[in-house]
């Protein structure tokens, strides 16, 4: 199930990039900055969260892999209008990777936050959280496209 959400996330990111790249001459500097902020943070956060939940490899390998992929995406979205948006999107990519890794680690092992294992029942299941994240990321990207059309 997590793999399906990961594929969905990558496909919707590619569609958003293709649509906005074709029309990048139509939007201004402020909208390009908003696109760089939303796209880089949400992509890196969701990608890292899903990869941490999916793989049991060493934590650093998963972090570096997701950071490299998210950096490429942030460079693409940050370079729509001006090159200074690349710096901003890279910073938010790093924040998203760190936040996604922390949430994924806590979901895998609630004892990291000193939560007793009996309180694990109030946690949302991992598949449910991954589905919720896929829904919210899809909503963010649809709102970006809606803001572009207004």
pLDDT at site 30 = 83
pLDDT, tens digit (0-9, with 9 covering 90-100), for 24-63: 777 777 888 888 888 889 989 999 988 888 887 788 888 8
The pLDDT > 70 percentage for the chain reads 92
- Euclidean distance between the first and the last CA atom of the chain, given in angstroms as a whole number: 35
For 33-42, what is each residue's pLDDT tens digit? 888 888 889 9
Which residues, 6+ apart, have CB-to-CB distance to 42 below 8 Å? 96, 137, 140, 141
What's the pLDDT score for residue 122?
A: 47
Distance CA 36, CA 130 (A): 23
Positions of the chain with pLDDT lower than 50, given as ranges: 122
């Amino acid at each position: 199930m997590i793999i399906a959400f990961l594929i969905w996330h990558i496909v919707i990111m590619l569609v958003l990039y293709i649509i906005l790249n074709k029309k990048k001459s139509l939007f201004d500097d402020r909208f390009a900055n908003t696109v760089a902020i939303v796209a880089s943070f949400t992509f890196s956060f969701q990608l890292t969260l899903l990869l941490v939940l999916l793989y049991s490899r060493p934590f650093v390998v998963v972090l570096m892999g997701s950071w490299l992929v998210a950096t490429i995406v942030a460079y693409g979205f940050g370079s729509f209008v001006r090159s200074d948006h690349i710096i901003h999107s890279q910073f938010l990519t790093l924040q998203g990777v760190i936040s996604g890794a922390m949430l994924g680690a806590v979901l895998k092992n609630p004892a990291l936050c000193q939560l007793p294992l009996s309180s694990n029942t109030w946690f949302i299941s991992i598949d449910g959280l991954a589905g919720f994240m896929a829904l919210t990321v899809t909503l963010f990207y649809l709102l970006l496209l809606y803001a572009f059309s207004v």
